[in-house]
Amino acid sequence: MCGLAGVILGEKPRTGRELKRLADIFTRLLVSSEARGPHATGAAWVNTDGEYGLFKQPMPASKFVKRPEYARLLAGLDDRLTVLMGHARWRTCGDERNNANNHPILAGDVIGTHNGTILNADDLFRRLRYRREAEVDTEILCRIVNGATRDGALDVSYLRQRLALCRGQMAAVFASRRMPGTTLILKGDKPLKFRCHRQRQVVLYATDRTYLDEALAGERGWLEMIVPPMTLLVFQQPGVCPPFAGDLSFTAQARVKKLRETGQ
């Protein structure tokens, strides 16, 4: 059980005041997400030039957002921003005292966050011969996405083939420095909720609907965006609404349990 939170932006001139408001909303989402993961917290951003900022620590979000490093991370935001992603981690595999296991995960040119568990991650690292730098299973997803980003574009066919090999649970968000105007979301069998503001060209996401409602209290113009389970979403600038949506295929945890029970 982990918490995902983030802001995805379309290409649009933004004032410092608007960016601060979005950063404040993001901070509220991240702190609310602590209920789903108190062991570690992290945040990262990517801009249109492929530059990025990343800060993560083994501490709950309520303490994390008070750190000077977090303030410096947000100070790096400008109107080139494409995505601001956050993660509140509940420890599964990989000790949070090793910061490489905490999210966002940086693997090659890809920065990613994930809620869930890839049960066959160790086997896939060996089978696909991907480089491994951490113990956490999420790294396999980041490596798969990194392999699917070619010549500044996402190879969706390759991505689907590799993801189909995964077994477990997932809701995940990725950005690549090689395609900085693109944000990839995999909404599998774990919850992920969305709000969209078409005029501002902004999409917010969080693991729990109530976190979005609380963070947007008093705000106007935000619409719920319904995304069914097992959906692959690609948000791409200049606009982010609507995103490309396609089917996501992998062996979800319920299916894994059935296969084990039947001896398959």
pLDDT of residue 114: 98
- The residue length of the chain stands at 264
pLDDT of residue 260: 45
CB proximity list for 249: less than 8 A, separation 6 or greater = 160, 163, 164, 230
For residue 50, how many C-alpha atoms fall within 13 Å in the half-sphere facing its CB?
A: 8
Phi-psi region of 114 (alpha: psi -120 to 50; beta: other; left: phi over 0): beta
Domain count, the chain: 1
pLDDT of residue 1: 80
Task: Please name which of 184, 144, 146, 148 lies closest in space to residue 165, comparing C-alpha atoms.
Answer: 144
Structure token digits, residue 118: 């890839």
Q: Tell me how far apart the alpha carbons of residues 200 and 5 are, in angstroms, rounded to a whole number.
A: 18
Cα angle 44, 50, 54 (rounded to 5 degrees) comes to 20
Beta-bridge partners for 194: 205, 225
For residue 11, how many C-alpha atoms fall within 13 Å in the half-sphere facing its CB?
A: 9
Range of the domain at 107: 3-262
Q: 10 Å Cβ neighbour count for 216?
A: 17
Three-state SS for the chain is: CCEEEEEEECCCCCCHHHHHHHHHHHHHHHHHHHHHCCCEEEEEEEECCCCEEEEEECCCHHHHCCCHHHHHHHHCCCCCEEEEEEEEECCCCCCCCCHHHCCCEEECCEEEEEECCECCHHHHHHHHCCCCCCCCCHHHHHHHHHHHEECCEECHHHHHHHHCCCEECCEEEEEECCEEEEEEEEECCCCCEEEEECCCCEEEEECCHHHHHHHCCCCCCCEEECCCCCEEEEEECCCCCCCEEEECCCEEHHHHHHHHHHCC
Q: 10 Å Cβ neighbour count for 174?
A: 29
CATH number at residue 184: 3.60.20.10
pLDDT of residue 241: 83
pLDDT of residue 254: 59
* Burial (CB count within 10 angstroms: exposed 0-12, middle 13-18, buried 19+), residue 66: exposed
pLDDT tens, per residue, the chain with 264 residues: 899 999 999 999 999 999 999 999 999 999 999 999 999 999 999 999 999 999 999 999 999 999 999 999 999 999 999 999 999 999 888 889 999 999 999 999 999 999 999 999 999 999 999 999 999 999 999 999 999 998 778 999 999 999 999 999 999 999 999 999 999 999 999 999 999 999 999 999 999 999 999 999 989 999 999 999 999 999 999 988 889 999 999 998 755 444 444 444
